[in-house]
Amino acid sequence: MKRGLILVALLISGCATYLEPDHIKIYSGEKNLSELAAVATDHNVWGVTVYSIDGSWVDSKAINQISKAGESGFRNWRGALLEPGMHSFTLVGQDPELRKKGLELKETVSKDLVAGHSYIFYVKKINEEYVFELFDAGKNYNQDCLIATYPDNLGYRKRAKDCATKPKEM
């Protein structure tokens, strides 16, 4: 009986191992950050989830990366790193107006990425239509700004400096 109560207490307390944030690597070989493009992947950055990049599911890449490293626990990602050039992204997103209506935007878009730049997708309303836009945060962007705001169990995003704010609607 005591063991059962202890187990329940541990489960309720949220006892978990949190791993240091890392990038999801979607490239081969060894490369420097300046040679790659970084893309935020979590909806808790600016409201858009990147489900796949070039037809490869982002979650499966992340899980595969952890299992190859032999790690176990929860990791909040700094987005995905990939080669510069044209890539297709399957996106799902919301903005406050869509959320009120119980709707979300789903689409696959292609974007040309530049080495050394960091990017964040967001939903924008133009006239009466919702579209995905890509914000180019430029070079030397603080990679902790690509971490989701929730859950930020290790506080990297909370302490991040000089994070861009979502552009206003036109």
Where are the chain's structural domains? 16-159
At 79, the pLDDT band (50, 70, 90 cuts) reads: very high
Sheet holding 56-57, edge to edge: 56-57, 48-53, 85-93, 105-113
**Across 16-44, average pLDDT:** 92
pLDDT in tens, 88-142: 999 999 888 888 888 899 999 999 999 999 999 999 988 889 999 999 999 999 9
Please, what is the Cα angle at 15 between 14 and 20, to 5 degrees?
105
Residue/partner pairs of 48-51 with CB below 8 Å, 24 or more apart: 48/91, 48/92, 48/93, 48/120, 48/121, 48/122, 48/123, 48/132, 49/91, 49/92, 49/93, 50/80, 50/89, 50/90, 50/91, 50/121, 51/90, 51/91, 51/92
pLDDT of 67:
86
Residue pair 69/108 in contact by the 8 Å Cβ criterion:
no
| pLDDT score of 10 more than 80 | no
| pLDDT score of 5 more than 60 | no
Instruction: Tell me the two tokens of residue 94.
Output: 């919301």
pLDDT of 1:
52
Per the listing, tokens 């579209």 go with 131
| pLDDT score of 75 more than 90 | no
